[in-house]
Each structure stands twice: as structure tokens, then as C-alpha cells.
Structure 1
Amino acid sequence: MSEKVSRLQHLRSVRAWLLWQLRRTDDTIAELERQEAAATRAARTSPPAPRGWKLAMRRTGGGGTSAGPDAVHTDDCGLAGKNTKPLAREQALRAITEDGVTACPYCRPDTDLGVL
């Protein structure tokens, strides 16, 4: 008989531990749901990050040195290549309007800059 009591006590201990784990899991789920809801609210209320621009430089055939500006791109444009220089808004605007540098036809930085 003592064997059955021992087994019963063991199962009650396992049950108590499982209930404790379940409460911890429920608490963790509730906390993650609160964090996710807060992040969603913040994303809806936060203004978008300011746009950046970059100047792609032409490459010469041999040594890989720059031959001059090629085009103005938005900072997230994949066509700009690796040989670029970051530009402030005013610099990008001046490059397109005054310096005659072309705007990328794919990412259209001239639209964001209000040049059209």
C-alpha cells in the first residue's frame, strides 16, 4: 500500500509542478502580447524615418577609381552599387537641380525631393 501512496504523492508533485509551469507560460505569453501590442501602437504613431540619399560614382575601367558622379539614389536603392557617397537632402537636391547629376529612374529620388 505504501507504494501506491508514494506513487500518488509523486503524481501530485508532478501535477503541482506542471501547474506552476503552465502559470509561468501564461504569464510569459501575456507579457509578449503586451509588448507586441505596444510595438504595433508605436509603429502606427511613429513618423517614418527620414529618407536618405546617396551619390553613385562612375568607375573607370582600370584601377577602380571614381570618374565622377553617376546618379543620385535613395539610400535604400539597390541599383546604386557599392561606390557611393551619402548625401544630405540639400546636397542631393543641388546635385540634381544645379550640378546636372541624373536621378535614378528606379528609386526616383527627384520625387522625394520635390524636383518634378
Structure 2
Amino acid sequence: MSEQVSRLERLRSVRQWLAWQLRRTDETIADLERQEVAAARAARTPPPPQPGWKLAMRRAGGTSTPDAVHTSDCGMAGWHTKPLAREQALRAITEDGIAACPYCRPDTDLGVL
């Protein structure tokens, strides 16, 4: 048995649905605006400076031992590296006896020579 719904009730249902759609649209717009603000903030924030040096690690027998100090852009360092601050790189070369890479010559940049 079907009941007849008045035109007024149908229009109120349509209005309710449209109001719901409008709220969803407003929420989506607000989300997108927040994302744009966050993206603009991230674009204005410079990335942290890369350390100027890295320590290449030699892996053997399940352990890692220091191999050589490299500049941060040296391609000879391999995959297993640790970033170093200037003071750490200086100490590694001068006090710890870790070799400087013969290709990128971090000792020259550090003023060790």
C-alpha cells in the first residue's frame, strides 16, 4: 500500500537533503583551505640544512665499523652512512684516526691539511 506524500513534504525533504549537501560542501571547502594554508606554510619554511659531512660505515660480520669521512655530496660513501656535524667530522679525522675520502677530500674543507 503506497501512501501519497504531499508536495510540501517532498519539498521539505529536498530542502533537508540540499542543506545536508551544503554542509558537506562547506566542510570540504574548509578542509581544502586548511590544506592550502599548510602547504603554503611548508613552502615558506626552508628545509633544515644538510650536514656537510657523513661517516661511511663498513658492514662485516653483522657489525658496522667506521670506514671513512666524506662530504655530504660524495657518491663514494655508499649506502650505510651517518650524518656528521663539522666538529664530529674534525674529531673523526684528527682524533679517532678515521680516514678522509681521497675523492671528495673532506679534510681540505675542514682545514685539516
TM-score by length of 1: 0.55
- Contact 1:55 1:69 survives alignment (8 Å): yes
1:13-24 to 2 correspondences below 5 Å: 13-24=12-23
- Contact 1:57 1:71 survives alignment (8 Å): no
Residue in 1 that maps onto 2:87: 90
- 1:85 is displaced (CA, Å) by 4.1
**Contiguous gaps of at least 5 residues in structure 1:** none
Residue in 1 that maps onto 2:46: 47
C-alpha deviations, 1:15-46, integer Å up to 9, x for none?
Answer: 12321222112211221222122123212321
1:80 aligned counterpart, secondary structure:
coil
One-letter amino acid of the counterpart of residue 32, structure 2: E
Query: Structure 1 residue runs of 4+, over 4 Å off?
Result: 95-99
Whole-angstrom distance in 2 between the partners of 1:96 and 1:102: 12
Percent same amino acid among aligned pairs? Answer: 30
- Contact 1:58 1:68 survives alignment (8 Å): yes
TM-score by length of 2: 0.56
Whole-angstrom distance in 2 between the partners of 1:65 and 1:51: 26
Residue in 1 that maps onto 2:63: 65
2:48 aligned counterpart, secondary structure:
coil
